């Protein structure tokens, strides 16, 4: 079946512009995560959605970052007024949560963001 998909695969933007990154999780997966992979910071958790519960935003680095998940499926990560330090690969992952088993997170291919 289809895996986690992300778009665009690459995004080049100018400093100060806003960007939107999209994630389509695996159908039926109720948990969705955003991570950031950068040279200086490694892989960092950003935000976590679980069903209709309030998201865990504890990893968002600044108030320029926000994310939403519509209808419990597709998620959009928005970065406002981008800065050069936002350049990174943004990874989305989804997971079926339930059954009392620690289920695997499936990762998408990522969106490579370059801020000039």
Partner 1 sequence: GDSVTQMEGPVTLSEEAFLTINCTYTATGYPSLFWYVQYPGEGLQLLLKATKADDKGSNKGFEATYRKETTSFHLEKGSVQVSDSAVYFCALDAGGTSYGKLTFGQGTILTVHP
Asked whether position 50 contacts partner 1 by CB under 8 A, the answer is yes
Asked whether position 95 contacts partner 1 by CB under 8 A, the answer is yes
Asked whether position 56 contacts partner 1 by CB under 8 A, the answer is yes
Phi, psi of 86, deg, nearest 5: -80, -10
Contact (CB, 8 A) for 108 and 29 = no
Of 82 and 108, nearer to partner 1 (C-beta) is: 108
**DSSP code of residue 58:** T
CA 101 to the chain's CA centroid? 24
CA–CA distance from 96 to each of 1, 59, 114 (Å)?
Answer: 14, 21, 31
Asked whether position 109 contacts partner 1 by CB under 8 A, the answer is yes
With CB under 8 A as the contact rule, the residue among 7, 11, 22, 45 that binds partner 1 is 45
Contact (CB, 8 A) for 73 and 24 = yes
Of 34 and 82, nearer to partner 1 (C-beta) is: 34
Q: Which residues bind partner 1 (CB under 8 A)?
A: 31, 33, 35, 42-45, 48, 50, 56, 59, 91, 93, 95, 97, 102, 104-105, 107-110
């Amino acid at each position: 079946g289809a895996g986690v998909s992300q778009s665009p695969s690459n995004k080049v933007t100018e400093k100060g512009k806003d960007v939107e990154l999209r994630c389509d999780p695996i159908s039926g997966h109720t948990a969705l995560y955003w991570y950031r992979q950068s040279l200086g910071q490694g892989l960092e958790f950003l935000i976590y959605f679980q069903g209709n519960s309030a998201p865990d935003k504890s990893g968002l680095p600044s108030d320029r970052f926000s994310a939403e998940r519509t209808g419990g499926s597709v998620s959009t990560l928005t970065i406002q007024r981008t800065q050069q330090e936002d350049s990174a690969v943004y990874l989305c992952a989804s997971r079926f949560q339930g059954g009392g088993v620690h289920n695997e997170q499936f990762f998408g291919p990522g969106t490579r963001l370059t801020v000039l």
